[in-house]
Amino acid sequence: MWLSNKFKKEKLVKIGAFFALFFLAFVSFKCSKEDTKPEPIIVSADFYKDVLFIDQGSVQVITSEAATFKKLSQNTNFNISETGLITHTSVNAINEIEATWADGTKKKFYVMASSASDKKLYLMGWKNIEHLYKTDTTRAIVIRHAEAIVGVDGEQLPASTNWWTSCDSKLARQLSELGKKQATEYGKIFKGIKMPIKKIFSSEFCRSRQTAELMNLGLEIKIDNRINGHFYNVSGVTSYVGMINILEEQATNKNLILLSAHYDISEGISKMGTLDMADTFLMKVGTDKKTTFQGIVSYPMWQVWYAIESTQK
C-alpha cells in the first residue's frame, strides 16, 4: 500500500512538472511572438533588390513604417526631402539614399530615375541579372563599347587601309581614359559577382576589342565582323542581325555570352533607345533559337549590383 501511494505521488509530480514546462513554453512563445515585429521595409511600386525605379517628376517613397530620409550621393540635380519626397531633373542616374526608421536603424537604398519608357526597360534588366546565373538556356550580355571619344573614324578612307581595326586615333575613334577605366571596372564587377561568362565576341573595331580585353576575364575573344556596326560593316548584315545569328549558333550550348559591339546593335529591338557608351542590354535565346530581349542594365546599375552583392557576403 505504501509503495502504491509513493508511485502515485511520483506520477503526479511528473505530470505536474510536464504541464508546468508546457505552460512556460507557451507563455514564452506567445510573448516572443507579440514582441517580435516585422522589419520595416520600402513598399513603393517598382522597388526591387534595394533599387527604386522612378520616372521623371516628383515621387513619394512609401514605407511600411515612418522613416526619415537623406541623400548620400552628390548629385545636385536630385533631391529627397526628410519625409521621402523625391524631386529631380537628371535622368538615367542612380542616387544613394539613407532611410532611418523610428527605432534608429538605417537602410541604404538606391533610386534610378529615367524616362517613363526607359524605366520599364531598366527594371526588366535589373530583375533579369539574377537569371544570368542559370544554365537552362543561352543568355547574353551585350555591351556598347566603353567611352570612346579620342580620334575620328576614317570612314572616308579606302577599305584597303583596314582603318576600322586600327588602334591609331588618327584612323579610328579610340577609348578615352574614362573608357579604359570603365572596361577595367567591368572586369572587377563581373569577377567580383562571379558572373559565369563562358564566351566573348567582339567586333573588329579596336575600341570594341579593347573594351573586352581590359575586362581581363581570362577568355579568348572571338572577333566577328557581323557585329561591326554600320561604320564599316563588311558582313553584309546589320549588327543586330549579326548578333541574332551569333546567338542562334550558340543556342544549344546554354552558356552566358558577352558581346562587345556598337550602339546600332540594338536597333532591331522595339521601343529600345540608343544605348549610352558602356551600357549593356540582356538577351535570351532558347533551344528553339527564339531570341528575346531581357532589358537594359546601365554601367551605373552594374556598379550598384556589385556594391549590393559585396555588402551581403
Cα 157 to the center of its chain, rounded Å:
39
H or E segment at 36?
A: none
What confidence category does residue 287 fall into, taking pLDDT thresholds of 50, 70 and 90?
Answer: confident
Q: Is the pLDDT of residue 17 over 50?
A: no
| 123-312 shares the fold of 47-114 | no
Strands 197-202 and 256-261, by their bridges, are: parallel
H or E segment at 58?
A: none
Q: Is the pLDDT of residue 125 over 80?
A: yes
Task: Locate the domains of the chain by residue range.
Answer: 47-114, 123-312
Torsion angle of alpha carbons 208, 211, 214, 219, nearest 10°? -70
What pTM, to 2 d.p., does this model score?
Answer: 0.86
60 vs 276: CA distance, rounded Å: 28
Q: Is the pLDDT of residue 128 over 90?
A: yes
Choices 3.30.160.270, 3.90.1150.10, 1.10.760.10, 3.40.50.1240: CATH for 123-312: 3.40.50.1240
Choices 3.30.465.10, 2.60.40.60, 3.40.50.2000, 3.40.50.1980: CATH for 47-114: 2.60.40.60
Tens digits of residue pLDDT in 203-219:
999 999 999 999 999 99
Cα 12 to the center of its chain, rounded Å:
65
Cβ atoms of 227 and 201 closer than 8 Å: yes
- List, as one string, the DSSP characters of 212-224: HHTT--S--EEE-
